A and B are shown apart, each in its own frame.
Chain A
Amino acid sequence: MSPSLEARDLTKQFGRFTALNGLNLKIEGTKCVGFLGPNGAGKTTTLKLLTDMIFPTRGEAFINGVSSRRDRKRALGDAGVLIESPEIYSSLTPNEALGMVADLRGLPAADRRDRIRTVLGEVKMTEWADQKVGRFSKGMKQRINIAAALVHDPDVLILDEPSTGLDPRGMAEVRSIVRDLKKSQRLIFMSSHILSEVVDVCDEVALIDKGKLLFYDSLDNVTSRFADGHQSVDAMLARPVGADQVGQTVATLPGVSSATLLDPRRIRIKFTGGLAAQERLVEALVGLHLGVLQVTESESALEEIYLQQISRGD
């Protein structure tokens, strides 16, 4: 059975405030899904309902087909959870904290030590394995929390803004860890309000605002569906170019609707025609001898869609 997460008519009210309003969402398979939305949109509420940390006013949440409200123990058995950057008992070392998690999850004693060493390696905390967690920085604690979510090699990973509150280096490290996690066959459901993070790491995206799901689709589909048929890429150059040069060369290429110089070595190109057009565009760009180093999907595409969808609800 492939891993899955499901919300059926999931609703949560805090007093008169509706934090989540009839969410229906089914995610199945091994992939990474970004759960996007502005602060207060209902992202963390959804994840807490999925993991039975709070209780639904209406509806039900399922992990691998098991209702987390009715049988939280079985539902969370195959899930790794990181919500709200938890604190670990300060007197424990990473080895001890992960040992406790492994023990409570029923990892065979014979495999425990090696498995803990592996996950500490994955989050690059091996050399801190026997230091007290109480002395750790926020970023280090977060890495131990990720290791704790991974220690039993779960089918499903639920991550709530894993890089929030970290410095740029910490954010990059967490992103790199999540990218590595994708290589293993599991379903990762990660909430974030950092668009670049989602573009960088996820295959699919779900957007939520004011407790309502606005869309859930693959990144490619979302981009083509909401961008009026336009796609957007950023070309990085080895040498600086001028705006005139860009206007006379790149902007006139077939399928290109606009080319904007973001900085002397970066051009944002809007075009139509899908993947085939993108392939022709890259070849043509190389042919212009501008010193193209790389062409990447523009982060702004999702950003534009995000802002457009969010502002529609205002």
Chain B
Amino acid sequence: MAGATVDLPAGRLHVPQSGQQVTKLARYQFREYLRSRRFVALAGIVVAIGVIVTAIVAHFRGGLVASNLAFYGSFWGGGSPFVAVLAAVFFGGDAIAGEFQNKTGYFLMGLPLRRGTVYVGKFIAAYLAGVAMMLLFLVILVLNGVYYFGGSAFPWQLGISFVLALVYLSAVLGATFFFSSLFKTSAYGFVLTALLFIIGFTLLQDVVTGLVKIEPWMLISYADSAIGTIFASPVNWGLSGTITTSSMMVGRMHIVTTTYTAGIAEGVVIMIVYLLLAAIGGLLLFEREEFS
């Protein structure tokens, strides 16, 4: 036996409170994310998106840089939800399913941890990794903003929009964790979240607004519009959306389109409801999940 034996203090160890264990677990999991290839890969993708945005703005300028609000409304409002979805897929897609598929869960579940502790700890770690990606994207846009608008590169709306984007990230991550808890195969979590948030909700929104012709308050893709509309003037802070109707003639056809835009408070409520339903649903699923 190498080394001297170290006896632990007399009496049994005091297992930390679940809250402390959540913090500890989140810290280790976050470090695991920071060292992972997927973190580097996603950072590369976000930088690539930033470079494309920079090139488009530099090439076209015009209306894109007419004002700082128009610039952030277009690129932060349009880009940050996409980055949030990517982050959720990359960091949450296999967060729970991977514990079964890769058998790392047997390592954690042999420890005196509640299942909820594992779930929440991993959620916080994935969220922090996602926040890092959102910050990276924000920094790239702000650097562009400083170049074009100098001292006006930091409108107050940007701060609120960033917070809204973080709420959206938590909602998408909640959904990702739900799917990840639903299946024991990582790929399902990845694919379902990506399909649903990149294509599915947008299609659903088109159906609800175009065919059913009602405000799509039940869809998170509707809520994320709040991230961009905060840059509009005047800002709709309310709990109900704005309806804009426009019409145009295409040949002999008279086409009327109705656009629904979520109020800021309405968007926040929808996102939080999604977060709570998905995260709690996922947690309940994980509580019943067996490592068989």
Q: Cβ of A103: which chain B residues have Cβ within 8 Å of it?
A: 24, 28
Inter-chain contact B292/A54, CB cutoff 8 Å: yes
Among B10-18, B199-207, B266-274, the stretch that binds chain A is B10-18
Q: Which among B5, B104, B107 is the interface contact of A148 at CB below 8 angstroms?
A: B107
| Given known contacts A48-B291, A87-B107, A78 and B12 CB-to-CB distance under 8 angstroms | yes
- Answer yes or no: B213 CB below 8 A from chain A CBs: no
Query: With a CB–CB cut-off of 8 A, which chain A residues contact B290?
Result: 48, 53-55
Binds B, one of A121-129, A210-218, A232-240, A246-254: A121-129
Among A72, A82, A121, point to the contact of B1 (Cβ < 8 A): A121
Contact A86 B103 (CB under 8 A): yes
User: Pick the contact of B14 from A55, A106, A120 — CB < 8 Å?
Assistant: A106
Closest approach, in angstroms, between the C-beta of A157 and any C-beta of chain B? 11
CB distance from A12 to the nearest CB of B (A): 9
The 8 Å CB contact of A76, one of B5, B102, B111, B288, is B111
Chain B residues closer than 8 Å to A155, beta-carbon distance:
12
In the complex, whether B21 has a CB less than 8 A from a CB of chain A is yes
CB–CB B102/A87 < 8 A: yes
**Is A111 touching B12 in the complex (CB atoms < 8 A)?**
no
Q: A117 and B6: CB pair below 8 A?
A: yes
- The reply to whether B106 and A72 contact each other, CB–CB distance below 8 Å, is no
Closest to B121 in A: A104
Q: Which of A27-35, A88-96, A192-200, A293-301 contacts B (4 or more CB under 8 A)?
A: A88-96
Q: Which of A53, A91, A104, A148 contacts B32 (CB 8 A)?
A: A91
Whether the Cβ atoms of A122 and B1 lie closer than 8 Å is yes
Chain B proximity of A95: nearest CB distance (Å): 13
Which single member of B4, B14, B111, B291 contacts A54 (CB below 8 Å)?
Answer: B291
The bracket for how many chain B residues form the interface is 35 or more
Contact of A88 among B7, B15, B16, B107 (CB under 8 A): B107
User: With the chains together, A107 CA to B111 CA distance in Å?
Assistant: 13
Q: Give A196 Cβ to nearest chain B Cβ, in Å.
A: 24
Q: Is the CB of A53 within 8 A of B35?
A: no
Cα distance A60–B113 when bound, in Å?
19
Residue numbers in B under 8 Å from A100 (CB-CB): 24, 28
A-chain residues with CB within 8 Å of residue B288 when the two chains form the complex = 55
CB distance from B26 to the nearest CB of A (A): 11
Bound-state Cα–Cα, A103 to B1, Å: 24
Note all chain A residues with C-beta closer than 8 A to B110.
51, 53, 76, 80-83, 86, 148-149
B2: interface (CB < 8 Å)? yes
Task: Check: A105 CB closer than 8 A to any chain B CB.
Answer: yes
Number of interchain pairs (Cβ within 8 Å): 123
> Is B48 at the interface (CB under 8 A from chain A)?
no
Interface residue total, chain A, C-beta cutoff 8 A:
52
Asked if B6 and A114 make an inter-chain contact with CB atoms under 8 angstroms apart, the answer reads yes
A175 at the interface (CB under 8 A from B): no
A278 within 8 A of B: no
Q: How far is the CA of A75 from the CA of B110 in the complex (A)?
A: 11
Q: A residues within 8 A CB of B28?
A: 100, 103
Considering only CB atoms, which chain A residue lies closest to B7 in the complex? A153
* Residues 56 to 77 of chain A near chain B (Cβ within 8 Å): 72-77
Q: Give B258-278 as 1s and 0s: 1 = Cβ < 8 Å from A's Cβ atoms.
A: 000000000000000000000
Q: Give A225 to B204 CA distance when docked, in angstroms.
A: 72
Query: Once the chains bind, are A104 and B113 in contact (CB under 8 Å)?
Result: yes
The reply to whether B107 and A105 contact each other, CB–CB distance below 8 Å, is no
How far is B110's CA from A149's CA once the two chains are assembled, in angstroms? 8
CB distance from A52 to the nearest CB of B (A): 8
Closest to B290 in A: A54
Q: A105–B15 contact, CB under 8 A? A: yes
Which residues 1-48 of B have a CB within 8 angstroms of A? 1-9, 12-16, 18, 21, 24-25, 28, 32, 35-36
Smallest distance from the beta carbon of B117 to chain A beta carbons, Å? 8
Closest-by-CB residue of B relative to A141 is B107
Interface, chain B (partner A; CB < 8 A): 1-9, 12-16, 18, 21, 24-25, 28, 32, 35-36, 102-107, 109-114, 288, 290-292
Q: Which 5 A-B pairs have the closest CB atoms?
A: A81-B110, A86-B106, A121-B2, A86-B107, A121-B3
Q: Can you offer 23 A-B residue contacts whose CB atoms are under 8 A?
A: A14-B292, A51-B110, A52-B109, A53-B110, A53-B290, A54-B290, A73-B18, A77-B13, A78-B12, A83-B106, A89-B32, A91-B32, A100-B28, A104-B25, A106-B15, A108-B9, A111-B6, A114-B6, A118-B4, A120-B3, A121-B2, A148-B107, A152-B8
Since A85-B106, A104-B21 are in contact, a sample of 4 more A-B pairs with Cβ atoms closer than 8 Å, ordered by chain A residue number, is A48-B292, A73-B18, A104-B24, A106-B15
